Amino acid sequence: MEDYKNKSDSYWREKLTPMEYEVLRKKGTERAGTGKYDQHFEKGKYVCAAYGTELFESEAKYDAGCGWPSFYDKAKTDSVSEAEDNSFGMKRTEVLCSRCGGHLGHVFPDGPKPTGARYCINSAALNFKKK
């Protein structure tokens, strides 16, 4: 199995669009309300834009009104991991693709039942596979 976490910067710059690179590799954030999946509610699966691994299912997506795609749960796989993020003087939980280490967004404890989680994810980190 190929190790995508240790790919070179030039590999990622060539593989990803500039916005995907900024978000996934440099931990950037797209502007609120600008992402293609913010108000996208088709049935299917959301996968990592860098690696293609399944991250979230459409059944867990909801409109949080925050300007980014929001999910109350991750896919039933080990493809999403979390890490402490203390950048910008805030204490947050970063969400990452477990396979490539790409930054997806953050998870907050203000989501709906049944989990109470709000996975706030950048559209640029995602691709969509329709059912």
Domain of 90, CATH number, reads 2.170.150.20
Q: Does residue 72 form part of some domain? A: yes
104 in a domain, yes or no? Answer: yes
What is the percent of the chain where pLDDT is above 70? 98
State the chain's mean pLDDT as an integer: 95
* Residue 125 lies in domain: 31-130
What's the domain count of the chain?
A: 1
Contact in structure between 72 and 119 (CB atoms under 8 Å)? yes
Mean pLDDT of 71-97: 94
Residue 2 pLDDT level (bands cut at 50, 70, 90)? low
pLDDT tens, residue by residue, 5-62:
888 999 999 999 999 999 999 999 999 999 999 999 999 999 999 989 999 999 999 9
Determine, yes or no, domain membership for 19: no
Q: Tally Cβ neighbours within 10 Å of residue 3.
A: 9
Domain presence at residue 11 = no
Residue 120 is among the residues annotated as catalytic for this protein: yes
- Answer yes or no: is 14 within a domain: no
Q: How far separated are the first and last CA of the chain, in Å rounded? A: 27
Residue of 48, 97, 100, 120 marked catalytic:
120
In a domain, 57, yes or no: yes
Backbone φ and ψ for 6, nearest 5 degrees, come out as -110, 20
**Size of the chain, expressed as the number of residues it contains:** 131
- State pTM to two decimals: 0.94
